[in-house]
Amino acid sequence: MSGAVVRPYGDTTGDGMVQVSFTLPVAHDKRGEGAAVQLANRMGIDPAMLVHAKQMGDGFTFFVVYGRVNHLVDLSAVRVLERDFPLLSAREVNAVVKRGLRRKLSVVGACIGTDAHTVGIDAILNVKGIAGEKGLEYYRELSVTNLGAQVSVPELVEAARAVRADAVLVSQVVTQRDAHLHNTREMSAAFREALPAGRRPLLIVGGPRFDESQAAELGVDRIFGRGTTPGEVASYLVHALVGRKVKVA
């Protein structure tokens, strides 16, 4: 498929049909519906069919528009961050940590700032995990501290220092006005200021609106996007902290 050029698929192959949704600060009336179609046209959707509209409050309406675009996608020009570490089972992760560290690997997790959405961090850390895959608390060679929601950056730094964290995992779901980016930069700066390079934990952030290629720009070691599993995080931890030193059985 290398170098292939594709078009969106709606009703038939290559018909270019797409569906988009957005909210406009307009009332739900004929004028508002016309504004939604106009926006869709300017986005390159032509013809644009308004298939759903619902008032979301005083002066706001949510729209769904369906229609055709002429844009093509060049797959050879798509750039993504490929996984550069092997996926390990829980047994393999435990074995690598036991041989490589000869102690438990300490992990601290939290939602920082005003973010109260713990579903993501809980899915990775809590033993019940997600979609049948157990979280990091299940791994016997990992020591997990879950600080929960709305943790301040100073509190996170202090907690990581107290348990001598090898890795800090932060989940950010609240993204209004790029809050996830501001919070991440603040966190990475705080750890750089509080601890020397050789003693700083691995800094990992995750959330649905992060671009995985922004890790260096944000001052963290790794970014995980939506759909990440506990096994992926555990595998990355041992790869980054001990896996290069210890051969997996």
Active site residues: 128
Strand ordering across the sheet containing 222-224: 142-146, 105-110, 167-171, 202-206, 222-224
Residue from 166, 43, 151 nearest 108 by CA? 166
Angstrom distance (rounded) from CA 165 to CA 180:
22
Amino acid identity at 48: A
Residue from 3, 17, 207, 203 nearest 109 by CA? 203
Residue found under tokens 């797409």: 18
Angstrom distance (rounded) from CA 130 to CA 136:
11
